[in-house]
Structure 1
């Protein structure tokens, strides 16, 4: 199973059960492409503070569709669990440019998608602090982070239990966003009550 072409991907960006903006409809294996420069072993430590979601599982992804390509270049991290209120990853800095983050909460019902962490809601500027009330009212958002060149980046992620439209009925879901608006990449997608989700990983671009 593979990702579809860009045109098919665009056509597939529709709501799932009135809750989620789905990206592509199938998953792809992690890329084994080399690090940012030949012989480079430099890594960035990404620390996510997730105090509201102990036991949640987190995965990072970087999915790019090069110009003229039919298949995207895909990288995915290992799935890690939030312990003592945080989760850490060590990645090549270039993986962070256009990176998205998915999170699974223990309380989530049969939603039909995976919750995606919002990096920026429409109307918010980089550095703006976001409240739950603001997030809950938001209708458009980006899950794509512009990345970092720093040796370490620390980000607080807010996760709240909310009711969403599941596959068959209303079920508990998760609203997840960075407490402070991050530098971001396109695309902006429709959010439902502030919630973003995907059926795989988001394709991000500058």
Structure 2
């Protein structure tokens, strides 16, 4: 399943609930009872509001469901709490795809890559995504979340923009025209990859 890191829920959304997925920063690290207790304690200590419920999705992932989109978005930006618990937060992509038919799953196709000199096989994300609908009729298109020129983020419209301008090359607080960083050394605000924030190669 594909997830959108650092994306936001639309603030004018009328969904009934808003889920945020949590994983450990270290890949394939399971959640223990101690981790879940630390998370519950952290939510209280940091005054995280609007939590509907918290539940384990599998041994590597926990989901926090919020009542309102701004509650979920504020939690996504709570870097202090996430760093304290060594966790990363993300929104599942099916929560941000618009369609008249219910979206069941979204999966990105991966390309199998064999390393040099007998190195382990790796999987590289491609630009192709499979969307499964709860319908017998195939839709011609879906509506994806659009990004904002000022902050390079997704999930809100211009009138709800409250953040300062962000450079699409360096992620610093200035316009890209004033940036001294070589685009070859760019850092994506959405996935931390080595490309500008508006690159079509962003997974």
TM-score calculated relative to the size of structure 2: 0.31
Q: Which has the larger radius of gyration?
A: 2
Structure that is richer in helix per residue: 2
Which of the pair has the greater relative contact order for Cα pairs under 8 Å at 6+ separation? 1
More strand by share: 1
